[in-house]
Structure 1
């Protein structure tokens, strides 16, 4: 794909506003001739860094303007500004004046792409699939447009229809918003009166020691089910019916010594199998 792509629909308002600013005679005037001159200078030319710094200084308001468009989405503005300015540097270094397109038409989608990648890859507290991250970035503009059109907040189905995306994916992206930021469970919460209320941790119960027995039971249950019928019966009578070895011996018609041996052999086998698994 040619990197000097036309601006997307989302970037058109930014290009239009920047173009209007150029019409007022601001720092964007004559930027293409300066970029042409930069492209003609060799990498070792002492004038190249000076000219490049001049171009960057003239175009910084564009990067800052794009950063402000993404503000209010849970990310620090200074971080967005740094990412947008990085995108500006990439646009300046990659721009080819011989292609014929204006610099703004190339720089705006380049900068916006860097900011969107920052949101997609760097600002999630919990791992979320890339596809869901990409859809999540589309939710804001689509929701704003539909809210303006409908006069109310749109439903997930209406958002899916607007974006041409499956309803399930939109639902997953809406749920994934909860993974964007996490908060410690021991952080106190405030109320409308300014008082501090207990944290979530204060409402959590203590660890139940019986959970360990549940885990042991679940681990040994399939091993018991695989035992021969006689060994399984002896275990059942001894540990579930709480019969003595003598009572078990009388019930199954063997000696008490044989019952003791069956129990010892079976318990050792179960222990070895459980530890090995």
Structure 2
């Protein structure tokens, strides 16, 4: 999948739009543009606290909230660089979050909670007119969850060209073909769907953080996530001849 910039480097124009009219698209674009900056702060602060992968993922949730707060409060007319303005707020949000983490919260990893959230999204009420049996719906759910694991563990949503195959017995022609077909299917999602897939499976953001960044409800992000996974599953079930070689 060819990486395409979600936001062109026109941040001044974006700030003008956001300051003048509170354009939600401009806010989303600003979040996308500055997210790598906030993510670095989150990861660095999590390392300082000596936390593992779960703490790093929690830190990213707090960093996303801190970044959005900084965007909402920033006044570009004051002549201050946004990174300088935002750094203290993002770092403060992450530090406060990590410091306030209880022992119980440490035992329940962010990854587990996100996967439960993902499962609820995919298991949402099926179409009563679909005619599918309970067994068929269960098979579809299992397929969608498997695709999610491929996206997460193989790194396809981040950089499909660098995705690695599973070792040993799983390094088969069939597995590599499935990865290739999944890359093709990802390319055929809408830009917003690809962005949601990337933020959730690669950046480790939960639906609440993604919803805040996009100015949408958590329920809508859940719907878009389910729609994207359903499209990926259907495309993977299409005859291989419909996929270009390469």
TM-score (norm 2): 0.35
Query: 1 or 2 for the larger relative contact order (CA 8 Å, sep ≥6)?
Result: 2
TM-score (norm 1): 0.31
- Structure 1 or 2: more helix by fraction: 2
